[in-house]
Amino acid sequence: MSNQHNQEKLSSARFSESTDAFVEEFTASIQFDHRMYRQDIEGSVAHAKMLTEAGILSAQELSDIEAGLVKILAKIEAGEVQWSIKQEDIHMNIESLLTGLIGITGKKLHTGRSRNDQVATDIRLYLRDEIDMILPELKRLQQGILSLAEREFDTIMPGFTHLQTAQPVTFGHHMMAWFEMLKRDVERLQDCRKRVNTLVLGSAALAGTTYPINRETTARLLGFERISENSLDGVSDRDFAIEFTAFAATLMMHLSRFSEELVLWSSAQFQFIDLPDRFCTGSSIMPQKKNPDVPELVRGKSGRVYGHLMSLLTLMKSQPLAYNKDNQEDKEPLFDTVDTVKGSLRAFADMVPAIIVKRENTYEAAKRGFSTATDLADYLVRNKGMAFRDSHEVVGLAVAHGVKTKQDLSEMSLETLQGFCADITEDVYEVLTLEGSVAARNHLGGTAPNQVKAAIERAKADL
């Protein structure tokens, strides 16, 4: 076929005048949907095989189509294909290239399908492939967190509420909180994949097709676990993209929370950790600066993913059945969400295992802020039979004294403590130490070092 024919719009026969040049560019999606070329070719090969099985294409026609698509794939990956705005999208571009290679047989490939079900299939194949790359990165980050937690399973640090010192915890326990967040993210993504992995090809434009297609064959060839039950819903459903982006927004919220802590902990005011130089940058004017750019940037990127989720929800909220051109706007938010998630996970998975914890600083920080006050209250309840509300008041008075004298509870003399409650005895110091405080939380989910080690071992088994 001639070059000129290849540049003609394949769907132009209905029209009496050419599309306005600006409108042609404005309505085209090839500028961004060309990234789905592999999935488009994969879907077309499966569709051609099904058509051949149904007796709609001959064995020779199937052979020609497969050979042509293989050549096109090689040309695309070699950078030898120039995408045509005139052909609008990746589907029409590839069909035009195929027709240019093998002639009229290329035009037969579209039998029994529409661009509506073709694009919906491509997006599902694309997203399924991306999910299968994101899941290992999520698990790599989980493994990085586990390695850091294991190194610091008994390192004492202050636990915070309201960003105020609350109770001492172990650094390993804090890391395992991060792990639990990601564990839920993995479960959400695995569950999302089930709904992504649905065949919609065969829905055609909106009503199905008159050709004797076998959708079970296509589903098997493409590895889809289920087949859409309604052609109208099949071509217009973008719930799976919204669900993925909702997962991504939740994941980015978690990474943003991690980032906030890393930024705080690496500051001169905290000095809990040291981030490796390769994940930081300097200042153009202040030579002493070491800026935690990676966590700061990830924290910032959470906002763009939230925006993409709102964009997709808004895109779909007023659409009547079935397919509408609006749906072309689903791809850029989805593609950017995928790219942002993959980049953020890679950065964190590389960075987290390399974090250096400044144990002396975390220990000293845990000694400030009366972090064992609850332990003293529990001691009075458990060992001396005092009602908790009364013990709470006693400890409050002791803390007020400590604020005035700049003494931690563990630094006060027994005589001083007995001034607040005569029942206090020498054994109180066992619970006022940081080590005693964390060791006392010796239950499933607690911060005791042996419980942290057990949690790490369970997590390793899960991974």
**What residues are annotated to the active site?**
162, 283
| Distance from C-alpha of 293 to C-alpha of 150, rounded to nearest angstrom | 26
Token pair 């493994």 is at which residue? 143
Helix 239-265 vs helix 115-151: crossing angle, to nearest 10: 30
Backbone angles phi, psi at 446, to 5 degrees: -85, 175
Structure tokens at 384: 């001396």
- Could you check whether the bond before residue 373 is cis, i.e. omega within 30 degrees of 0? no
Bridging pattern class, strands 164-170 and 273-274: unpaired
Helix 115-151 vs helix 331-351: crossing angle, to nearest 10: 20
Q: Residue 356 in 3-state DSSP?
A: strand
Q: Which amino acid is at 439?
A: A
Residue 157 contacts residue 360 (beta carbons within 8 Å): no
Token pair 């055609």 is at which residue? 204
Angle at 156 between CA 154 and CA 161, to 5 degrees: 125
Local structure of residue 166 (DSSP, 8 states): E
Token pair 């064959």 is at which residue? 217
User: In whole angstroms, how far apart are CA 32 and each of 14, 83, 330, 335?
Assistant: 27, 11, 11, 9
- 455: part of which helix (H) or strand (E)? helix 449-462
Q: Which amino acid is at 243?
A: E
| Distance from C-alpha of 160 to C-alpha of 61, rounded to nearest angstrom | 68
Whether the CA torsion 316, 319, 322, 327 is positive or negative: it is negative
